[in-house]
Amino acid sequence: MPLRHQPHYVRQVKTKKNKGNRMDLGFLQFELDYYPVTIYQFMSVPLALMFYCLSITGRLPLTARYIFLMFGGLLMAIVSMGFYAVLVLIPSVLSMVFILSLEPRIIHKWTFLTQMGWQTLCHLWLHYKDYYLQEATDIKFIIALSSLMLLTQRVTSMSMDIHEGEIKIPARIMQQNGLGSEILYCSLPYFSYMLYFPALLGGPLCSFQMFRIHIENLKESGHKCIAKPLWSFFKKCVLFFLLNMLRISVRNCISVIEQSNQGSLQWGVPKDILLIWITALMFRLAYYSQWLLSESLNNLVGLGLDNGRTGKATLSDADIWTLETTSKISEIARTWNKTTAGWLRRMVFQHSKVQPLMSTFAFSAWWHGLHPAQIFGFILWAATVKADYHVHRYMGSVTAGSRVLRILYKVLTWMQTQLVIAYILVAVELRSFSCVLVLCKSVCTVCPLLYVLVLIGMPNKPSKN
């Protein structure tokens, strides 16, 4: 499933291939230190607190809650994206027109094609700026493109719900020449869902049903968990800062190695396995911290928290323990950025009649922007996931009779999984074709290549089920 929850909103990565198979890593300082999205997310914390406090005390009626979330999103869009906010507002309005005017059986088709078409045009413009003009793209455009990708998730998820009958749209007001006030009142929950500020710049993906139920029942359930959103926000913010401190330490290690190699890393020598793994670790820590921050902002308005006795989070992308300890590439594919993985499974995997796994990863590459290294990385990931199923199915019976063999098998497959994912993550993050060429000459290529050979050479074994 997808590698990222947030695309390259802070990245203008310029890699170049030098003599001796060297890759310039001067981008690393900028790569993970410059987080304007983080700043804007923290700026929205007072809005989230105000919304929650006013809602649970009864000072915000239902309509006002929707309006508050929507205008909060519009405000954050203007502040964070400037003029490029129109890139998000245009498809939002168009999707709303489709929802109010089209029949349920065709809403998803038109919404999906329009949304992905608009997003693809924006990505092609980024390609044109990056690869043809070789100009630095305005960071506000990158933020808008990231927000647009998240909007695509919400809009297509909602249109699929309508198509499958899980959401019942009121009578087609626009087709019946309804009054403007009726149209606005009918469209308010949907438009608020598309633009609500806690999810504008970061996920996780919340379904429209969950969003609407929470907003409608916020006052009634608020007294049961009045302290839980604050506690969840505080706890995840602490983890956010701890992970960022660890990430900075990892980046400093890479910087020391970079300086020892006179400004570049020498790929193609035995230590490149360690360097690729450390670089991937730095990226993973950045993702984990951003996921936690985005989740905490949603929790702060009460979204994603069980209002019962447990206070358990029900809306989360970050399962760090599983991602770092699993010995299965397929499990990482299901767990990495969980809500987006679920969205891809629903949009593509469950509806693909031919090669659903490969189709899902291919669509993920399309959604992420179709950069050369992204295509390479996602295709490679799909192949290794398929091979991973073969390996564990065959080796499970071989190691079943010996505890020592099972432990050894777990350790070896965990190492293999970590190195394969590290290789794929570095390729996707650096995006350029030159990066692919350099990585292909790396010793670390052996790790995914082994799984590709397994996929080619191992016959399919019928399932016992």
Q: Which residues are catalytic?
A: 337, 368
- Distance CA(147)–CA(205), nearest Å, equals 12
**What's the chain's Rg over C-alpha atoms?**
23
The one-letter amino acid code at 330 reads S
- Distance CA(380)–CA(265), nearest Å, equals 24
Q: Any idea which residue has 């078409």 for tokens?
A: 117
Strand order in the sheet with 22-24: 17-18, 22-24, 264-266
Token representation of residue 6:
């947030």
Q: Which of 285, 223, 211, 280 shows the shortest CA–CA distance to 248?
A: 285
- Distance CA(122)–CA(133), nearest Å, equals 15
Which residues, other chains included, contact 391 with Cβ-Cβ below 8 Å and sequence gap of 6+? 413, 451, 454, 458
CB-based burial of residue 358 (10 Å sphere; 0-12 exposed, 13-18 middle, 19+ buried)? middle
Token representation of residue 331:
């499990």
Q: Any idea which residue has 């922007």 for tokens?
A: 369
Whole-number Cα distances in Å, 140 to 18, 40, 119, 124:
31, 12, 16, 16
Please state whether beta strands 22-24 and 17-18 pair in parallel, antiparallel, or not at all (unpaired): antiparallel
Determine contact, residues 93/187, Cβ cutoff 8 Å.
no
Token representation of residue 462:
């019928």
Determine contact, residues 340/242, Cβ cutoff 8 Å.
no
Q: Which of 453, 326, 321, 433 shows the shortest CA–CA distance to 384?
A: 453
CA torsion 399-402-407-413 (nearest 10°) is -10
